[in-house]
Amino acid sequence: MDNAKNQAVETPARHAEIKHQESDISDRVNNRSLRPDSPAFREFMKQGWGEEASDTQPLESSRFTPARLKALSSHFPGDRLVIPAGVAKVRNNDCDYPYRPDTTFAYYTGLGQDYEAGAVLVLEPNDADGDSSSSATGGHTPVLYLHPRADHTTRDYYRSAVYGEYWVGPRPGLDEFSTMTGFETRDISQLSDAIAKNVGTGEGSVRLRVVKEADPAITTMVETVREQNGFPDPGANDSDDDLLHEVAATARMVKDSYEVNEMRKAITATKHGFDRILSTLPSAVGSEHGERMLEGAFNSVAREEGNDVGYGTIVASGAHAPTLHWMRNTGSVQKQDMLLIDAGVEVNSLYTADITRTFPVSGKFSPLQRRLYEAVLKSQQAGFEAAQPGHTYSDIHHACMRSIAESLHEWGLLPVPVEESLRPEGQQHRRWLACGVAHHLGIDVHDCAEARYESYQDAKITPGMIFTIEPGLYFRDNDLLIPEEYRGIGIRIEDDVLMTENGPEWLSRTLIPSDPDGVEEWMAERAATALNAKD
């Protein structure tokens, strides 16, 4: 290891950068954390530290990022692209939420988990006279700007609550990050000069684009440089940045083999999370905080087998289930209830599953519960059959909606004929299914959301896409247009699907039971496992 490169060099510029990054935290902790800094202490802290072992290897993702960068590069020849990782967000006072890197940064660097808050990926346009065709990443060279290690050789080791390893533990250095990603790495103190270099409107100059939502401080830095160098129009600059974000989101629609494998890992871990929920269910029934008991059971698996949950876990029992995004999870769980759980594990690469199952708390569907459940399952299957290469998300949506409308009509709930309800000027069936029924899935649970409508809902489904199919029926407890026995029942069935050359493949439904008989058997198995564990 090149120690000179990996340690934080003690320079005025370096201290200014660190001070900028941690100024808020320094102010917040001043009253509770009186840090020693006497000459004797500083001298003593330099002594008696052993070397730390390092066995850094290239990340598996590093074999796939060059192709992603090359595709991005082709859209913005000659532009300098700035992709920040983002920083931790304040939860309260001097406590932050757990850090998660920005999605675009994670996709193009392959760095998941909480590797490096404050890092910035810059795609530097290759020299106009150079041979960009020889670059594995096209017309740009990726450079990763990072904070060098604040290890025991530096004063920041114990002074910096943000990067000091006395506070936050060992971090990879510049060399290690270069090995992990395959990118050139530089000290973050060089970032501002690198961003400003040759920016302008003349020949040989470059323009800047930034993923502006990721890190407000970096966005301000870019905006200042643009304003000072011939790009003073905020509206035009916003359009430039929006296009970068849009292109990056659209690129994520088709997954490479690494991404598909990570999604399979996430779904397997999510199955284990549901297993733990069902093992916990008998003890949660009747408890005042039953929903939160089940939430905790799932979330513990997410931390054991992955990075975290991919989104706020929904545990909705009884009358809470018709609320689409019930995440308070403050209710009890009663034996007569239907229990809707929408949850996904986010693995360390940040890819997340998104699965919903609805269970009869008693372990057996009543005749009414089974009839409603089977209607939703039938609708999901109709959406799956409509999901074929060359079809669109709209085809999935319409197939699911037709099936739901037909069931509602069969039960006498729809006040108009099916065809009338399905017309744009009708839509009466949407009273009980007002949300969409499919979305892209990947690093974000609602992945690729910045893509244009014509690239998303109206675009052809192609092999490599991963998406959900999630119809439901939501009968609120105050809905006077339905029979009383329907009220307070919410059912959603959601599975993750991979489009292949030969058609759609269930990624989750074959692993996680969804047919009513299979659900009942699964619940009985987990209940028996929980009972045996007590014995």
Do 123 and 268 belong to one domain?
no
Residue 337 tokens read as 């209830």
343 within some domain? yes
The count of structural domains within the chain is 2
Amino acid at 104: T
Do 155 and 278 belong to one domain?
no
416 within some domain? yes
Do 390 and 433 belong to one domain?
yes
Do 222 and 74 belong to one domain?
yes
**Average pLDDT of the chain to the nearest whole number:** 91
How many residues are listed for the chain in this entry? 535
- Of the listed ranges 117-126, 250-259, 451-460, the least confidently predicted one is 451-460
Q: Tell me what pLDDT residue 177 has.
A: 96
Do 136 and 219 belong to one domain?
yes
Q: Tell me what pLDDT residue 530 has.
A: 81
Do 347 and 403 belong to one domain?
yes
Do 247 and 264 belong to one domain?
no
Average pLDDT over residues 234-250: 96
> Among the three residues 195, 220, 251, which one is the final residue of a domain in this structure?
251
Domain carrying residue 22 = 3-45+57-251
Residue 440 tokens read as 């892209």
Neighbour tally for 398: CB within 10 Å: 16
pLDDT at residue 448 greater than cutoff 80: yes
Q: Tell me what pLDDT residue 37 has.
A: 83
Contacts 24+ apart (CB under 8 A), 446-454: 447/249, 447/252, 447/253, 448/249, 448/250, 448/252, 448/253, 449/249, 450/242, 450/245, 450/246, 450/248, 450/249, 451/246, 451/249, 451/250, 451/253, 452/246, 452/250
Residue that has been written with the tokens 């949850």 in this structure: 343
Do 247 and 395 belong to one domain?
no
**What is the pTM (predicted TM-score) of this model?**
0.92
51 within some domain? no
> Among the three residues 251, 276, 298, which one is the final residue of a domain in this structure?
251
Do 518 and 392 belong to one domain?
yes
CATH number, position 27: 3.40.350.10
Q: What percentage of the chain reaches a pLDDT higher than 90?
A: 82
H or E segment to which residue 204 belongs: none
Q: Tell me what pLDDT residue 512 has.
A: 98
Do 387 and 466 belong to one domain?
yes
Main-chain phi, psi angles of 467, to 5 degrees = -150, 165
pLDDT at residue 252 greater than cutoff 60: yes
CB 319 within 8 A of CB 488: yes
Contacts 24+ apart (CB under 8 A), 229-236: 229/196, 229/199, 229/200, 229/201, 229/205, 230/199, 230/200, 230/201, 231/199, 231/201, 231/207
> Among the three residues 221, 251, 281, which one is the final residue of a domain in this structure?
251
CB 414 within 8 A of CB 439: no
Do 453 and 509 belong to one domain?
yes
Do 308 and 376 belong to one domain?
yes
Task: Tell me if residue 239 falls in helix, strand or coil.
Answer: helix
H helix intervals, 336-468: 367-386, 393-410, 418-422
pLDDT at residue 27 greater than cutoff 70: no
Q: Tell me what pLDDT residue 134 has.
A: 47
Q: Tell me what pLDDT residue 437 has.
A: 97
Looking at per-residue pLDDT, the higher value among 154 and 18 belongs to 154
